[in-house]
Amino acid sequence: MNKKLKHKHYKFINNETDNVIYLLSVPADKDDVREILENTKHKLAVENGIYIDSIYYIEITEEETHH
């Protein structure tokens, strides 16, 4: 049975500029999604020299990922 694994998609946004700075897809069956999102947020802050609280993430729909 070849079943396509569903993913949840997130975009990380710089609150100061409203720019999307990163897109992330995580398998929907992952138990530690929040941990993955928080670790990604910290990594983006360090790599881009952005204050950690200036970055937030939101889940986006499958349709939004194709635009």
Residues 14-43: tens digit of each pLDDT: 999 999 999 999 998 989 999 999 999 999
Total domains in the fold of the chain: 1
* pTM, rounded to two decimals: 0.83
Q: Which of 6, 43, 52, 53 is nearest to 22 (CA)?
A: 43
For 50, residues 6+ apart whose C-beta sits below 8 A from its C-beta are 14, 16, 21, 44
* The two structure tokens encoding residue 45: 């802050």
Domain of 44, in residue numbers: 7-62
Q: Tell me if 32 is assigned to some domain.
A: yes
Q: Tell me if 43 is assigned to some domain.
A: yes
Q: Tell me if 1 is assigned to some domain.
A: no
